[in-house]
Amino acid sequence: MEKGINVSKYLKEHEAYIKALLAAQDGPFDWQGLKLFHKTRIEFLQHERLIHLLVTLAVAILLFIALNIAVNRPVVEMAAIIALLLILLVPYIYHYFVLENGVQRWYKLYDEIEKRTGEGK
């Protein structure tokens, strides 16, 4: 069974690849092809980012509902549910943070590629 990808590693590897091409290529190069390739990767991450935002929000909403129930009708079982939701929420927030910052860096790389195509500002 294949494991899921390490998003942080994926972000860094792709970013390093694009930066290396930007640094090494001064002459003729297929900048349009690179632009399309990079844009496709950005779209993949935008989809991933949206899904993780929705999941993170859902877990956070469930946590607040559980906290509200625990305040109004304290039961021992709610403590376990709250602990579980907190344990889930922290990694979700971190993962979303990594995705968001990675996509923002990739936007800047996209702008740099656009400059090389002559379309950028």
Reported confidence tier of residue 120, pLDDT bands at 50, 70, 90:
low
Flag whether 14 is in a domain: no
Flag whether 104 is in a domain: yes
Per residue in 10-35, pLDDT (tens digit) is 999 999 999 999 888 767 788 899 99
Flag whether 26 is in a domain: no
Q: Which two tokens stand for residue 8?
A: 């942080």
Flag whether 85 is in a domain: yes
What total of structural domains would you count in the chain?
Answer: 1
Residue 81, judged by CB atoms within 10 A of its CB (0-12, 13-18, 19+), counts as middle
What is this structure's pTM? Answer: 0.80
Per residue in 81-117, pLDDT (tens digit) is 999 999 999 999 999 999 999 999 999 999 999 988 8
Flag whether 34 is in a domain: no
Flag whether 38 is in a domain: no
Task: Please give the Cα distance from 12 to 5 (Å, whole number).
Answer: 12
Task: Please give the Cα distance from 25 to 32 (Å, whole number).
Answer: 13
Q: In this prediction, what percent of the chain has a pLDDT beyond 70?
A: 94
Flag whether 43 is in a domain: no
The predicted pLDDT at position 6 comes to 84
Reported confidence tier of residue 1, pLDDT bands at 50, 70, 90:
very low
For residue 67, give its domain range.
Answer: 52-121
Q: In this prediction, what percent of the chain has a pLDDT beyond 90?
A: 69
Flag whether 47 is in a domain: no
Per-residue H/E/C for the chain? CCCCCCHHHHHHHHHHHHHHHHHHCCCCCCHHHHHHHHHHHHHHHHHHHHHHHHHHHHHHHHHHHHHHHHHHCCCHHHHHHHHHHHHHHHHHHHHHHHHHHHHHHHHHHHHHHHHHHCCCC
